[in-house]
A and B are shown apart, each in its own frame.
Chain A
Amino acid sequence: MTDLFQRAVNQRCLKGLQWEYVILVPWQADALLHHLQAAFDQKLNRYDEHWGTCQVTRLVLKFQFEIRVGERADGLTLLHRVNAEPALRQANLETVDRLLHRLLTHPNPTKPSA
């Protein structure tokens, strides 16, 4: 998609429900989580899980999507909720795209924004 990151749909998982972002430049999970919250107006519910030695953070916008950070070293996973309409799914993907582009281009933005 860009030189900064790529995203691809997982064809197995419910025909388009799960998207995997691969980040191609150095990045920090904490900063990403912080800016994701800002991009979605602090409405994401946060759940932390320990998978063995991995810490996985799940950010959930109810009835819209879930983002998992930490399950893969190279990026994040976005899972749409089943009832989320196609237009809403696309809008949420684009919000994450814009956020990633900003964050990876300017790793220390002073004002988080979508």
Chain B
Amino acid sequence: MLRIPCPWCGERDVGEFHCGGEAHIARPSGADTIDDDAWAEYLFMRQNPKGSHHERWSHAHGCRRWFHVVRDTDSDQVLAVYLMNEAPPDLPGRSS
């Protein structure tokens, strides 16, 4: 079973968490000028990688706070945890 290390509460069962999907998706600027393809990129297109994935999690049945996780989607191994206002950590040997 997947266990998620909450930065505040420690490692807990995945059932306590809600996964918020891919992280670091920036809303495009110039909303009144960008075209439909740019909106589609922002709204719908995803990396969905087989490997390192930066994603957001919320400790829904715990402290209810959001944080970032880097997880290997092939092995489900959690590689790093960092806060919402932090930059993604460097993970040697892994491309994001």
A associates with B: no
